[in-house]
Structure 1
Amino acid sequence: MLNLAVVLEDSAREKPDATAVVFGDMRLPYSLVDTIAGQVANLLVSRGIGRGDKVALACPNLPYFPFVYYGILKTGATVVPLNVLLQAREIAYHLDDSDAKAFFCFEGSPELPLGERGRAGFADTEGVEHFFVLPATPFATESELGETLWAALDGMSGEFETVQTSADDTAVILYTSGTTGQPKGAELTHQNMVMNAIVNDEMFPRQPEDTYLVALPLFHSFGQTVLMNAGFRRGGTLVLLPRFEPVAALTLMKREKVTLFAGVPTMYWAMLAAVHAGAAEVPPSLITAASGGSALPVEVLKDFRATFGVAVLEGYGLSETSPVASFNQPGRPAKAGSIGTPIWGVEMKLVDADWNTPDDIGEIAVRGHNIMKGYYNRPEATAQVMKDGWFRTGDVARRDEDGYYFIVDRAKDMIIRGGFNVYPREIEEVLMTHPAVSLAAVVGVPHDSHGEEVKAYVIRKPGATTTEEELVAWCRETMAAYKYPRIVEFRESLPMTATGKILKRELR
């Protein structure tokens, strides 16, 4: 029997008074985080939710996230974390696709009206029975959007006997767009998530006071496993930052004596820019820095080591691999530009289209304790990427004589904008619903701070007069903030192959 909630429960039992979460002026001990998670579990059970049910959670990096995440797990139910930038239409799709029975949604703010979008998405989905508002005002018992968490928890006991789930039960469903349009839910088991948290935790040297800055979104696999689950397993302190901003991050790191930072390359780039501009100081407490999400430019790596006195260790993984598959591991030489070697208990190899071993470069395939069960309710999509326990990633790489892997090209045409995966086909499908658009091709173009920016080449319908600005504005209303194209270029025609496929490499 195994339940991912153990990473919190063990630390709460061993060091109940130690600080688990820091948010602003709030400092919450392990005992309190575990008790509120217990209340959430009792609430869910009282509403008829238990082992095998799905519960969605849309929340930025706030104390609510661990309260609800581990509360769901304690009942034996499955957590379905949602990206906080999703629009109402996209939220409804995820709730429906995951068969969610309940939905915890942060109230949001004027800048990010997550609560309104969540409520609208909930209203458009038949199967979801319960909507709980996580209020923006701490401990508020009323919200115009519906029942608040605090009102619902009133009178609930914090004692809860955690449901004994099996290692192969699904703990979390993480949505990933893949290269084929609609997002798919990767089913990750309790074993997948616990093992990945343990291996990550064991890789980094322990400090007398381990303090992690949590700037990576917790709804994403990187922040969830490497920071929250591994950090709680270690009994460390998690300093939550809802929205990454370099000066705020560096100020917090100095104030809270942060020892470990994990981020995507654009975060490192932004922090360096802030230090070089004299807007922030280097935090002297930092010991470990990890990067993932996309390749860290070697110049940024060198500059960070010179400026911060800390080497950034690069890793690699996907939602489907819980997420970490390989890493430049402490104790071994790190190679700039490399994603390192497979983590403990995991194998990697390069394959061609027929799963044979290529001569030089090939697609990365991964096998081990970190591989998902499959895509939720999508056996065909699962069969396309899985064979004999191996999962093919869609990322092309080469391997050197020491067994280190180097990414050559990424999954087909995927765009990574500011650490978020953007899948051109999904954007193209939405663009084509615009009355003035006849054909669209979306590509990533280089961008100084985001790594890549989303650009759409569009052929207008005859007689249509929509301007570039109007189309960008329409996209902004229709798609999540990290997805919509910031640049639109109208063309009379697009380069194509004989079979009618658009030649995207000629557009870049």
Structure 2
Amino acid sequence: MLNLAFLLEQSARRFPAKTAVMLDEHHLSFAELNGAANKIANALTALGVQRGDKVALMLPNTPHFPIAYYGALKVGATVVPLNVLFKQNEIQYHLEDSDAIALIVWEGFLAEAAEGYRRASTCRNLVVVQAPGVDLPLPDGAVTFGSLLSQHAHIFDTVQTMPDDTAVILYTSGTTGRPKGAELTHANMFFNAMISAERVIHAQPEDISLCVLPLFHSFGQTCVMNVSIYAGSTLTMLPRFEPVKAMEIIQRDKVTIFAGVPTMYFYLLNHPQSGDFDMSSLRRCVSGGSSMPVEVMHAFNKKYNVVILEGYGLSETSPVASFNQLDREPKPGSIGTPIWGVEMRCVNLEGQPVAVGELGEVVIRGHNVMKGYYKRAEATAEAIRNGWFHSGDLARVDEDGFYFIVDRVKDMVIRGGFNVYPREIEEVLYAHPFIAEAAVIGVPDPALGEEIKAVVAFKPGQSASEQELIDYCKDRLAAYKYPRSVEIRDTLPKTATGKILKRELK
């Protein structure tokens, strides 16, 4: 028996009065956080949620997220975190594809979420989180998070799930461009949090972690929230990354651990006010999500006297697969070595290991690899072959066993740590009545790593401005997905079979 909610229950027993999470002046102890999660577990049970049911969360980084997250896990339900930037059609797709029967959403996202919920054929419970003192009109049948907390008991007998039961479904995407749900088990998530806490981050009860990575993303969920809860550390939460606000919190709360994507480090390093704050409390910084520029890593270390440990992972691997770990001298530019209990290889097209220094696809095997893609047996069989998960990333490994990501097999663009899949954007563009051809690529950006660019050709006699096309995409896609620039051509380069040659567009 194993339930990921044991992370919270263990720390509530060990450190009942210690602050678990805080948002500015609002603090919750581990006992209070566990009690609130128990109330939500009781509430979900009363709403008919049972072991194996799916509960979707569309919440920002506030204490409501861990309350709802661990509350759903206690029932034995599967948590389906949704990107808070999703539009209504995206919300509908994820609710239906995951078979979610309940959606817990922050009031600020309700305009999009309510319509997506209404359209979804599977979802029958809508719970709205409202800020104190706010009393907005609710959709028919909806209940408030606050009312559930006030109506239910703070004691709950956690459902004894099996290690291989699905704890979380994290959505990713593949060559088809349609998001796929990676099923991560209680064992996947528990071991990834435990090993990350003990062997990578070395988190301690006295640590304070800045929680600014979005908790709907695997990096923030495992390496920040679950690591901190496991270690008995304190989470200080920031709903949205703003460099000055982040530095204010680091100084105010004496933050010791910071996990972020390279874009965040870029802004903390280069913001005009970066010299105005005391960042000396930082003792551990970790980076993931996309490749960290070596010059940023060196400059950050020099300015703040803290080493950034870079790692690698995917939603399908819970997410951590490798890291520059403290027992070995880190190598800037490297994603480090596999974590305990995980194997990695670089292989050729036949699946055979390549020689040291040669380029190959990264494959991964271990406790961190997902159960599979939800309801997609063929995609699962393609991704996991002979027990090895095929990442789609190209890398080389040196003589010391350190891995270096070189390129990506897929056309995925990483914008500020967010994975963006061109096919999804291209499908939106192709739905435009004037567009005949479309391709989406990533172009270098000094702050975000990559920016989204669309290249289009119009149907005969049709035209639209660059801004019109950007606005068209903006209305249909999450904020991190829509292209910031559009190039208009008479035609796009193609292969003999008619496939657009993206490499000639870059």
TM-score w.r.t. the length of structure 2 is 0.97
2:296 pairs with one of 285, 294, 300: 300
Residue aligned with 2:92, SS: helix
Structure-1 residue corresponding to 2:152: 156
Query: Deviation of residue 278 (structure 1)?
Result: 4.8
Structure-2 residue corresponding to 1:118: 113
Which is further off, 340-349 or 28-37? 28-37
Contact between 2:454 and 2:487, CA under 8 Å: does it hold in 1?
Answer: yes
1:256-267 mapped onto 2 (5 Å cutoff): 256-267=253-264
Structure-1 residue corresponding to 2:89: 89
Which is further off, 12-21 or 197-206? 197-206
Q: CA RMSD in A?
A: 1.2
Structure-1 residue corresponding to 2:266: 269
Query: Deviation of residue 164 (structure 1)?
Result: 0.1
The 3 A distance-change label for structure 1 pair 385 and 25 is same
Letter in 2 for 1:86: F
Structure-2 residue corresponding to 1:396: 394
1:318 pairs with one of 314, 317, 340: 314
Structure-1 residue corresponding to 2:49: 49
Residue aligned with 2:475, SS: helix
* 5+ long unaligned stretches in structure 2: none
Contact between 1:139 and 1:150, CA under 8 Å: does it hold in 2?
Answer: no
Residue aligned with 1:428, SS: helix
Letter in 2 for 1:314: E
Residue aligned with 1:402, SS: coil
Letter in 1 for 2:21: V
Contact between 1:142 and 1:151, CA under 8 Å: does it hold in 2?
Answer: no
Structure-2 residue corresponding to 1:176: 172
Structure-2 residue corresponding to 1:40: 40
Which is further off, 30-39 or 199-208? 199-208
The 3 A distance-change label for structure 1 pair 340 and 278 is closer
The 3 A distance-change label for structure 1 pair 409 and 282 is farther
2:469 pairs with one of 449, 468, 471: 471
Query: Deviation of residue 411 (structure 1)?
Result: 3.6
Structure-2 residue corresponding to 1:188: 184
The 3 A distance-change label for structure 1 pair 414 and 262 is same
Structure-1 residue corresponding to 2:493: 495
Structure-2 residue corresponding to 1:363: 361
Cα distance in 2 for partners of 1:207, 1:151 equals 35
Residue aligned with 2:143, SS: coil
Cα distance in 1 for partners of 2:28, 2:432 equals 48
2:243 pairs with one of 243, 246, 250: 246
Structure-1 residue corresponding to 2:218: 221
Query: Deviation of residue 14 (structure 1)?
Result: 1.1
Residue aligned with 2:170, SS: strand
Letter in 2 for 1:415: V
The 3 A distance-change label for structure 1 pair 55 and 132 is same
Query: Deviation of residue 421 (structure 1)?
Result: 0.4
Residue aligned with 1:239, SS: strand
Letter in 2 for 1:6: F
Cα distance in 2 for partners of 1:283, 1:193 equals 31
Q: Does 1:237 align with 2:231?
A: no
Q: Does 1:134 align with 2:134?
A: no
Residue aligned with 1:502, SS: coil
Offset from partner CA, 1:298-351 (integer Å, 9 cap, x none): 000100110010010000000000000000001211001000000000000011
1:378-393 mapped onto 2 (5 Å cutoff): 378-393=376-391
The 3 A distance-change label for structure 1 pair 273 and 325 is same
Query: Deviation of residue 193 (structure 1)?
Result: 0.1
Cα distance in 1 for partners of 2:319, 2:241 equals 21
Cα distance in 1 for partners of 2:56, 2:275 equals 39
Query: Deviation of residue 140 (structure 1)?
Result: 5.1
Residue aligned with 2:286, SS: strand
The 3 A distance-change label for structure 1 pair 234 and 207 is closer
Q: Does 1:77 align with 2:77?
A: yes
Q: What number of residue pairs does the alignment pair up?
A: 501
Contact between 1:296 and 1:314, CA under 8 Å: does it hold in 2?
Answer: yes
* 5+ long unaligned stretches in structure 1: 109-113
Q: Does 1:60 align with 2:56?
A: no
Contact between 1:76 and 1:163, CA under 8 Å: does it hold in 2?
Answer: yes
Offset from partner CA, 1:403-435 (integer Å, 9 cap, x none): 000000024211011110001111111110011
Cα distance in 1 for partners of 2:470, 2:203 equals 48
Cα distance in 2 for partners of 1:97, 1:88 equals 14
Structure-1 residue corresponding to 2:404: 406
Offset from partner CA, 1:36-67 (integer Å, 9 cap, x none): 10010001111111111001000110111001
Query: Deviation of residue 465 (structure 1)?
Result: 2.2
The 3 A distance-change label for structure 1 pair 143 and 67 is farther
Contact between 2:455 and 2:487, CA under 8 Å: does it hold in 1?
Answer: yes
TM-score w.r.t. the length of structure 1 is 0.97
Contact between 2:342 and 2:366, CA under 8 Å: does it hold in 1?
Answer: yes
Letter in 2 for 1:434: H
1:480 pairs with one of 468, 478, 481: 478
Structure-2 residue corresponding to 1:343: 339
Cα distance in 2 for partners of 1:459, 1:506 equals 15
Letter in 1 for 2:386: D
Q: Does 1:419 align with 2:417?
A: yes
Offset from partner CA, 1:279-307 (integer Å, 9 cap, x none): 64241110000000011000001001100
The 3 A distance-change label for structure 1 pair 393 and 339 is same
Cα distance in 2 for partners of 1:278, 1:290 equals 19
Where do 4+ consecutive residues of structure 1 move more than 6 Å? none
Cα distance in 2 for partners of 1:236, 1:187 equals 27
What is the identity percentage for the equivalent residue pairs of Structure 1 and Structure 2?
55
